[in-house]
């Protein structure tokens, strides 16, 4: 069906001039893609009408599956089904172990330090997992917008460090995307609210997602969104709430053995459902039975609040720290320090699905003293803000003069003598930024200098994160302290860093584009991009086959369960035998590599079981109406 666009005379935009842009919220639990269409910014649904894409990827020998189908397989195949991969982005094995979580994966360290996970499809990195999610979202966007995307804005937590940001960019490159900008998630939320509702003044953006927490303070002026302070925890989120509930179930069950991956995944999925149920109810039933771990009981909202109380307070403490940081930074401005007290916060924007937890909303309200804003769906507000920005950056609204001033989440500096960290750019400095500082030699006759770039707030290099090292050679031999070496730091709008060094008298120079640990090498990225093109058709075939097999398994299991429950009561033995034969046929076909044949087998089994399904429906209706007279039913209607 073709669409006809109607505009005022002389104001129709040449369709060849309008570019396709999208905003992508690459989330821990769910991901979304949004775009501006017909002047309206909206998230884009899939064929089934679902806007949220579960950030879950399953890797098998037969192919890769992303989203709901993968999530449905998570309980039975936890080692090959990767969830919450965002928490692993830009981290090494020891970093991930330091999160203190039970994770059902087999981790492998690489020479570059980047973690990989063992799957039936081979070893995969978090970057590759994220790329699969991005590919699925982009395919949805291209289909909805009827063409390839010209550019995207991808959001990241404000507290993501350089390694995590670079890992996100690597994932986008593997997915074949033109990234217009990496945008901090709270800034994206501010864009959505600032444009849609016109709020101005000091705003706190409280962003609690599945795996990360960010708190950002923004000054909103006409056309200007300035992040004045940011903080948070890249290892705090709704997943941690789920872990607390899962641990409670284990304790209450009295289970003493080591929890296996299948049990853990089942518990985590159950815990998420319990958490969501307690957002609307005062209590909920808990029934778990998996591999010998048995529990049946009840969890109340009050009990859950006690389980997560310290985590919620952890986020509130981060809010207080950000207010202090904002107040400390105003000495260079003509702004009163009182302008950044919690009483001066006019509005609080809630972002992230975990902000639906009542205990979270109550804590935020009590701390800031204002009722938080949630006019825009907290699951969608980030994607919507990113889409607005993408629409401008791609050139569809060149007349707009929106200015986004993000800030660095952590200080950047250099190692100096004695293993000290000299900060060149302080945290909460607005970006993009370029800043220089002069250094000198330590020894007489020194002709080279090793420049070690670090990130962090600690005074010792050993307590900071190493970002890059490079050498400046050709320094004229002089007495110690005579050489003048100018080191220049440049951070672009995405928060990515490049560093250069120059000796003043000779002009010799060296530079490095910081490629943080746990990112991908250029060769690895090139190989992955080439592989994605070379095997595009094979990947489509493999995906179709895997989805067909999953669908067949689902139908077979559903019918087998129905036969076990009602077969003998509703069917003749001969009818049961015919259905069992049909199941066997589909099972045999599922072992082949013909996706069309499997889909045809699913359809045939569905037709064969139609009469049985109708009998079950009739039996259910009779049971529901048992004991009621016809006139009673007519009166109720």
Task: State how far the Cα of 416 lies from the Cα of 424, in Å rounded to an integer.
Answer: 12
Catalytic option among 95, 161, 170, 185: 185
Active site residue 375: no
Which of 169, 175, 164, 105 is closest to 134 using CA atoms? Answer: 175
Residue 235 C-alpha from the chain's centroid: 12
Catalytic option among 25, 170, 239, 415: 25
Task: State how far the Cα of 44 lies from the Cα of 141, in Å rounded to an integer.
Answer: 7
Residue 590 tokens read as: 């599922």
* Phi-psi label, residue 321: left if phi above 0, alpha if psi -120 to 50, beta otherwise: alpha
Task: State how far the Cα of 281 lies from the Cα of 293, in Å rounded to an integer.
Answer: 26
Active site residue 25: yes
Active site residue 185: yes
> Which residues have C-beta within 8 Å of that of residue 391, sequence separation ≥ 6?
21, 35, 36, 41, 397
Relative to beta strand 63-66, strand 107-109 is unpaired
Active site residue 95: no
Which of 180, 297, 164 is closest to 235 using CA atoms? Answer: 164
DSSP summary character for residue 73: T
Catalytic option among 86, 135, 275, 423: 86
Residue with tokens 């395919």: 139
> Which residues have C-beta within 8 Å of that of residue 429, sequence separation ≥ 6?
407, 408
SS3 326: helix
Residue 165 tokens read as: 């940001």
B/e letters for 270-304, b = 16+ CB within 10 Å, e = fewer, are: bbbebbbbbbeeeebebebebeebebeeebebeeb
R_g over Cα of the chain? 28
Catalytic option among 46, 162, 207, 406: 207
> Which residues have C-beta within 8 Å of that of residue 42, sequence separation ≥ 6?
34, 35, 384
Q: Show which residues are catalytic.
A: 25, 86, 185, 207
């Amino acid at each position: 069906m073709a669409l006809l666009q109607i505009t005022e005379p002389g104001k129709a935009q040449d369709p060849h001039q309008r570019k396709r842009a999208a905003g992508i919220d690459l989330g821990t639990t769910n991901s979304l893609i949004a775009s501006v269409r017909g002047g309206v910014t909206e998230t884009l649904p899939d064929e089934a009408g679902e806007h949220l894409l579960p950030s879950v990827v399953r890797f098998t020998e037969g192919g890769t599956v992303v989203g709901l189908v993968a999530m449905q397989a998570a309980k039975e195949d936890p080692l090959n089904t990767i969830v919450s991969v965002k928490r692993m982005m830009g981290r090494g094995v020891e970093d991930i172990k330091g999160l203190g979580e039970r994770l059902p994966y087999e981790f492998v360290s690489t020479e570059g330090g980047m973690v990989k996970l063992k799957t039936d499809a081979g070893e995969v990195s978090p970057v590759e997992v994220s790329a699969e999610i991005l590919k699925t979202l982009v395919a949805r966007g291209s289909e909805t917008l009827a063409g390839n995307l010209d550019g995207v804005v991808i959001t990241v937590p404000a507290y993501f460090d350089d390694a995590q940001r670079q890992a996100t960019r690597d994932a986008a490159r593997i997915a074949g995307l033109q990234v217009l900008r990496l945008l901090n998630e709270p800034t994206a939320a501010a864009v959505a609210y600032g444009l849609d509702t016109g709020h101005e003044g000091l705003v706190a953006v409280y962003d609690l997602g599945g795996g990360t927490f960010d708190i950002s303070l923004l000054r909103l002026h006409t056309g200007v969104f300035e992040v004045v302070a940011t903080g948070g925890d890249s290892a705090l989120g709704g997943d941690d709430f789920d872990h607390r509930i899962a641990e409670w179930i284990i304790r209450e069950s009295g289970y003493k053995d080591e929890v296996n991956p299948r049990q853990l995944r089942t518990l985590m999925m159950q815990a998420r459902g319990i958490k969501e149920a307690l957002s609307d109810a005062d209590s909920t039933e808990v029934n778990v039975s998996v591999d010998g771990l048995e529990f049946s009981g009840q969890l109340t909202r009050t009990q859950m609040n006690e389980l997560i109380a310290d985590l919620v307070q952890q986020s509130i403490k981060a809010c207080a720290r950000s207010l202090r940081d904002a107040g400390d930074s105003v000495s260079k401005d003509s702004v009163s320090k009182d302008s950044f007290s919690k009483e001066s916060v006019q509005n609080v924007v809630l972002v992230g699905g975990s902000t639906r937890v009542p205990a979270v909303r109550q804590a935020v309200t009590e701390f800031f003293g204002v009722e938080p804003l949630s006019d825009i769906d907290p699951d969608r507000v980030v994607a919507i803000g990113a889409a607005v920005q993408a629409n401008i950056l791609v050139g569809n609204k060149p007349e707009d003069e929106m200015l986004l001033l993000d800030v660095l989440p952590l200080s950047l500096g250099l190692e100096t003598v004695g293993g000290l960290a000299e900060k060149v750019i302080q945290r909460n400095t607005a970006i993009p930024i370029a800043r220089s500082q002069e250094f000198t030699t330590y020894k007489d006759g020194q002709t080279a200098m090793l420049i070690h770039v670090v990130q962090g707030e600690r005074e010792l290099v050993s307590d900071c994160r190493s970002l890059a090292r490079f050498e400046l050679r050709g320094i004229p031999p002089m007495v110690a302290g005579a050489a003048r070496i100018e080191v220049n730091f440049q951070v672009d709008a995405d928060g990515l860093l490049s560093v250069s060094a120059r000796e003043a008298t000779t002009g010799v120079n060296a530079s490095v584009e910081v490629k943080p640990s746990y990112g991908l090498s250029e060769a690895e990225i090139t190989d992955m991009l080439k592989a994605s093109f070379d095997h595009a058709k094979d990947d489509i075939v493999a995906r179709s086959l895997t989805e067909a097999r999953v669908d067949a398994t689902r139908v077979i299991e559903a019918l087998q369960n129905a036969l076990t429950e009602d077969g003998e009561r509703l069917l003749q033995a001969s009818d049961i035998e015919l259905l069992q034969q049909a199941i066997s046929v589909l099972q045999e076909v599922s072992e082949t590599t013909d996706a069309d044949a499997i889909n045809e087998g699913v359809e045939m089994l569905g037709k064969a079981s139609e009469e049985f399904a109708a009998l079950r429906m009739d039996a259910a209706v009779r049971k529901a109406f048992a004991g009621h007279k016809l006139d009673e039913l007519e009166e109720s209607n």
